[in-house]
Every structure is written in C-alpha cells, then in structure tokens.
Structure 1
Amino acid sequence: MGVKAIKIDIGLSEKSRATIADGLSGLLADSYTLYLMTHNFHWNVKGPMFNSLHQMFMTQYTEQWAALDQIAERIRALGYPAPGTYAQFAKLATIKEVEGVPAALDMVRHLVAAQEATARTARKLLPVVGKADDQPTADLLTQRLDVHEKTAWMLRSLLEE
C-alpha cells in the first residue's frame, strides 16, 4: 500500500518550488564540498601559521556544518528530497576536490576559490527566488552570501603582503 503525497500549498507553484529546490541542491553540494575541504585542511595544515590556520579553519567548518542543515531543511520545506550522498554532491558541485595535502598558503588559495564559488552558486539563485517571491529562501541565500564573501575576504587577506 503506497503513501499518498500530500499537496503542498505554500504560495509557490510546483514549478517554482522544483526550480528553487534544484538550485538549493547545487548550493548544498558546493557547501558540503567546501565544508569537507575546510575540515580536511584543518586536520592537515602545518608550518609557521599552523595554530592560526588550524583555529580559523575550525571556526569556518563549524559554521559551514550548521549551514548544511539549514539548506537541506529548506529543500525539504519546498517538498523535495535533499541530496545527501558523495555521488550526488560530486555530480552537483561546482567545486572540485583537492588532491593531496597542499602547503598552508595553497590551502588558503583553494579555500578562497571555494568560498567564492559557493557565493556564486548562491547568487545565481537569487533572481529565481526573487521572481517566485520566496522570501525564506532569499533570506537564507543572503545570509550565506554574507558569510562566504566575508570569509573569502578574510582568507584573501592572508595572501597579501
């Protein structure tokens, strides 16, 4: 005996909900890839900047971990399943994994690029969300953009003379 789906009527069309959920799935994939990269670098950083980078990366991956839940739960609220496997994330993410263990400042460079890529993914969805008049998703995207742009700036600052 199958379970009958309950109609969702939250003021967004099914087409809008599907398009937004797809966009958020890409954001979740980029966010998870960024989270994993940051945690990996936290574990493996070494050199004269070890302590400051180790602590900075921990602050960043902890914030990122909480954001994953917010993004996934918004996808669910729109009525769609959230991606949750490495295979799905690899297919959806615009960020590529880093091979090996880069030098500390190369880790920072990779994280700048990944933060910026995640910001671009969020920003790309804003017009779609605006057109659909989806304020909760717009609020989530604005919060994520603020974090990713600020974090990218802080990381870039480490690379300047």
Structure 2
Amino acid sequence: MKTRTATAPAINIGISAEDREKIAHGLSALLADSYTLYLMTHNFHWNVTGPMFNTLHLMFMAQYSEQWTALDVIAERIRALGHPAPGTYREFSRLASIAEVEGVPRAVEMIRHLVAAQEATARTARELLPVVTAANDQPTTDLLTQRLEVHEKTAWMLRSLLED
C-alpha cells in the first residue's frame, strides 16, 4: 500500500516569490527590533525607580502590552508570505538594529533608551515601505503604516518627558 504525503499548494497571492522573500526578510528585521524593544520596555517596567515611578511603570506597561500584540501581527504576516518567522534570541540579536541595554539605568536614561529604540524600530519599518510598495503588497503596507504611527507617537510622548 502506497502512503500519500500531502503537500501544500504553491502560494499564489499576486506577489512574486522573490518579492515575498525580500518582504519577509525586512519584516524579520522589524520583528527583531520590535521584540528587542518589547523586552527593553518590559525590563524597564520591572526596574524603574524614583519620583516618576508610578507614571513610568504604568506607561511602560501600556507600551510593552501594545508591543506584545504587534509581535504576533508581524510574525503572522511573515508566515502568510510563506516564510518562517524568526523566534530565537540568537536570530533577534543578529537581525535587530537595537542594542541591548546593560544593567539598570536611571529612569531618565530609560526614557532616552526607549526614545532611541522606538525611533530605530520606526526606521526599520520605513526602510521596508519602498519594497512593499513596489511589490503591490497592501497588507504589509498597512501593517507598516500602523507600526510607524505607534512608534513615532510613542517616541514623541517619551521625548516630551525629557523636556524642561
């Protein structure tokens, strides 16, 4: 008796395999930056101290919670394009443009690190826009636009805490 193995049909969504690979690679970098930002924000939530404790503790929780949800959206888009989503610290470290923060910085330095990480994540998303536009990939364009709005607004809000 012959055993049959099921194979999935080829992806045919109107985006070439080459473009899907480029987009998945760019989204993988965005996922790595997003995960690094998530982890940094959660770390700071746990470890913030000082006169702004309550404000920052709550703000960081709202930010890492939003970021956590975004990770799934980005990873699922990579999968929808037919590629595996990175999911290890090693892969994230290799792909991310954001460096880990050593130790526990003071509250104001946490804010500075988060502004830089939010802006870096926005840059990573923005760099992918021309690729998805050329590939006529509206779902990824929408995802990137939403992420840009969140990261730019969050960077502005955090930066505002540093003004006199």
TM-score range, shorter chain: over 0.9
In structure 2, C-alpha distance between the alignment counterparts of 1:45 and 1:106, rounded to whole Å: 10
In structure 2, C-alpha distance between the alignment counterparts of 1:66 and 1:3, rounded to whole Å: 32
1:111 maps to 114
2:53 maps to 50
In structure 1, C-alpha distance between the alignment counterparts of 2:77 and 2:42, rounded to whole Å: 24
Residue 104 of structure 1, CA deviation: 0.1
1:121 maps to 124
1:133 maps to 136
2:153 maps to 150
Residue 74 of structure 1, CA deviation: 0.2
Q: Structure 1 regions of 5+ residues with no counterpart?
A: none
Letter matched to residue 8 of structure 1: I
SS at the partner of 2:161? helix
Residues 131 and 101 of structure 1, relative CA distance in 2, 3 Å threshold: same
Q: Structure 2 regions of 5+ residues with no counterpart?
A: none
In structure 2, C-alpha distance between the alignment counterparts of 1:4 and 1:86, rounded to whole Å: 31
Match of 2:93 among 90, 93, 113: 90
In structure 2, C-alpha distance between the alignment counterparts of 1:83 and 1:5, rounded to whole Å: 21
In structure 2, C-alpha distance between the alignment counterparts of 1:37 and 1:116, rounded to whole Å: 14
Match of 1:100 among 100, 103, 123: 103
2:68 maps to 65
Query: How many residues end up aligned between the 2 structures?
Result: 161
Is 1:20 the counterpart of 2:32? The answer is no
SS at the partner of 1:159? coil
Residue 3 of structure 1, CA deviation: 5.9
In structure 2, C-alpha distance between the alignment counterparts of 1:15 and 1:6, rounded to whole Å: 17
Could you list the runs of 4 or more consecutive aligned residues of structure 1 that deviate by over 6 angstroms after TM superposition? none
SS at the partner of 2:11? coil
Higher-Rg structure is 2
In structure 2, C-alpha distance between the alignment counterparts of 1:124 and 1:26, rounded to whole Å: 10
Residue 4 of structure 1, CA deviation: 3.5
Match of 2:11 among 2, 8, 11: 8
Aligned CA RMSD, in angstroms, stands at 1.0
* TM, length-normalised to structure 2: 0.96
Letter matched to residue 137 of structure 1: T
In structure 2, C-alpha distance between the alignment counterparts of 1:31 and 1:159, rounded to whole Å: 23
In structure 2, C-alpha distance between the alignment counterparts of 1:138 and 1:57, rounded to whole Å: 27
Letter matched to residue 138 of structure 2: Q
